[in-house]
Structure 1
Amino acid sequence: MSTEEGWHTVEDGQKLYTKTWKANGPAKARVVFIHGFSDHCNTYIKFFDALASHGIEIYTFDQRGWGRSVTKPSERGLTGPTTRVLDDITSFMKTVIPSPIPLFLVGHSMGGGEVLYYAARGPSEIRKHIRGYMLISPFVDFSPASKPSIITVVLGRMVGKLFPKRQMKSHLDVKLVSRDPEVCKAFETDELCHNMGTLEGLAGMLDRTMELASGKIKIPDDAGEGGVTRIWIAHGDEDGITDYYASKRFAETCVTAKDKDFKSYEGHFHRLHDEPEPYGPAFLKDMVDWILARSVDPVQSDVQRPRL
């Protein structure tokens, strides 16, 4: 596999760090990947290498406020409101469309919640290029092990209205990230995984989560290429960060597309792609198979097989 690094400048002048994974041979599909909270695209190197080895290109970027897109401490967690988050995704998507091969929009954790939101409310001129949406441990709601108290949320919102750019450090238990202690240690020591959010950005994330968890956000049946929604959601049933049951409930009640699939992974933690043996390989195979099965002619790829 080969990789390319670069920078993408969005409309307000903010520069976002980008990275692309190319397959050695002819590519069969293209993925735009949206990372999670306190994360960045270079924590997924082994995962993206594996996808590229199957002919799947990866186009990704460090979101505003995260990773190498941060150039000074005051920018940490400075994501802006939900409108800004979605606009950044749209701006990046415009650099990869029209795509000569099938295009999939994939998100993990917070990025998964953002992709669900985008599938529901993103601009139609972008969504019509998306062959399918894939969500990995999406942030539909907090797992009970990580859920903040209602007092913390209410006070945070009140202060956030007065000081939207005020930074606040999250106290994520890294042991919940993966069963692999080396993965957890890497997160704990990675300076780019700073766990810092702004009150405005955190409020926006909570608002998106509340709308997803309450059922206010529903994925239309015509959210993708050819006026068809194709969606795949994967979640581990021992995820201690995002709620497995909220994710499953969303798939069952808020997605009516005929081509939908909810994959449950017994014993898996939050980063499905970073789980040690015997956990990880099944997830990777399922994801590759789903993408490649839908990377043929659109008429043939509409396998109307709900899996719920």
Structure 2
Amino acid sequence: MVKEVEGTFPVGDVSLYTKSYLPDGPLKAKMIMIHGFSDHMGRYYDFFPTLARAGIAVHGLDQRGWGRSVQKSSQRGLTGPTSQVISDIAAFIKSHLPSDVPVFVLGHSMGGGQVLTLASSPEYDGLIKQVRGWILESPFIGFTAEEEPGWLTVFSGRLAGRLMPHFHLYRPIAPEKISRDPEVVKSIKADKLMHDTGTLEGLAGLLDRTGALSKGEARLSGNVHSLVLMHGNADRVCSFDKSKAWFERQTIEDGEFRVFDGFYHQLHADPGKETFYEGVRDWILERSSGKGEAAAAEAGPDVKVPAESPAVAEADGSVPGSKL
């Protein structure tokens, strides 16, 4: 039995929506969830319950400007500058510390880039030391070729952003590029909380963070000892190649790059998603019991996951019972 708890997290001048998934049995670990662009805590299917059933409590929030943290249309995409974004995330992680069990942080897509920016910020080194492990799901380290904005668009946007930082810009991503599951695509189109709208200030900050990561300007803290990066090699939104290039530049004591063969952007919502759920669960539990380094050495730094798990995938590649 998994207990779901909704709440709010006051930070600065806002109160952000939170949701937790709590185990019924003994608590073995905590995972802090940082979602992606236009996403929210209500879109992760059975991922969080799977972790909670294994004794891993999940705590997440709808970030400033997204999901149920938006109370009026003017707040859509109103994230503030990067300093504000990272400060919000750091404050939320800190609210779950100190902890009697290991704490892990997972960032998906835009959230993955934010998490890496935090883990590369010297001013947060004290907080970084208290995180047992870092999990990246399809992190935004670079665009795919089909999503890369032209230089003129970027230049014009930055110029306008200096004059009108809170100007809203509709920046949709085609749902068909996010998942191969037609039911997921349909649900994205129907989800009114996914507004696909950023501010010029927020989008410029996102591009700056991504640029710093892809160019190697943001250096990962030496206090990051365990990290796993999971990415589908058919991702049509965030570049698989740039994620792999970033990982190969790092020196991480317990680091692993996992390839999800044939998967699109949302590993948690693509056919065969159970392999992702189980991979995250087992990675956390191994490190919560102190077996992580041995397990990582045995698996190797680059692990490939098949496109579909035959036990859960239908003949047409869809997942039975896939729904929100």
TM-score (norm 1): 0.93
Residue aligning to 1:226: none
Cα drift, residue 281 of structure 1: 2.3
Q: In the TM superposition, what is the alpha-carbon distance from 1:18 to its structure 2 partner?
A: 0.5
CA deviations over 1:101-153 (Å, ceiling 9, x no partner):
11001100000010111111161221121000000000000111211111111
Residue correspondence of structure 1 range 210-225 to structure 2 within 5 A: 210-223=211-224
Alpha-carbon deviation of 1:301?
A: 4.1
Q: Where does residue 128 of structure 1 map in the other structure? A: 129
Letter in 1 for 2:98: P
Quick check: 1:220–1:256 contact (8 Å CA) kept in 2?
Answer: no
Distance 1:159 1:145, change over 3 A: same
Structure 2: distance between partners of 1:105 and 1:135: 8
The separation in 2 between residues aligned to 1:58 and 1:127, in whole angstroms, is: 18
The equivalent residue for 1:34 is: 34
Is the contact made by 2:45 and 2:268 (CA closer than 8 Å) also made in structure 1? no
8 Å contact from structure 1 (residues 220, 257) kept in 2: no
For the residues of structure 1 that align with 2:57 and 2:64, how far apart are their CA atoms? 22
Residue 235 of structure 2: which of 226, 239, 253 is its match?
239
Partner of 2:177: 176
SS in 2 for 1:206: helix
> 1:279-299 CA distances to partner (integer Å, 9 max, x unpaired)?
2222222211111110024xx
DSSP-derived class of the 1:197 partner = strand
Q: Cα RMSD between the aligned structures?
A: 1.3
Q: Distance in 2 between matches of 1:232 and 1:108?
A: 12
Aligned to 1:289: 282
Q: Aligned with 1:80: secondary structure?
A: coil
Q: How much has 1:205 moved relative to structure 2?
A: 0.2
Instruction: Give runs of aligned pairs for residues 259-278 of structure 1, distance below 5 A.
Output: 259-276=254-271
Partner Cα distance (1:154, 1:271) in 2: 29
Work out the CA distance in 1 between the residues paired with 2:93 and 2:151: 36
The superposition leaves residues 78-111 of structure 1 with CA deviations (integer Å, 9 ceiling, x where unpaired) of: 0001000011011111210011111001100000
1:52 is paired with a residue whose SS is helix
Cross-structure match for 1:22: 22
- Tell me the amino acid that sits aligned with residue 205 of structure 2: G
For 1:96-135, what aligned pairs fall within 5 Å after superposition?
Answer: 96-121=96-121, 123-135=124-136
1:247-301 per-residue CA deviation (whole Å, 9 max, x = no partner) reads: 0110001x2012000000110000101112xx2222222211111110024xx54
Q: Structure 1 residue 252 and structure 2 residue 248: aligned?
A: yes
- Report if the CA contact (8 A) 2:90-2:118 is conserved: no
2:301 to 292, 299, 307: 307
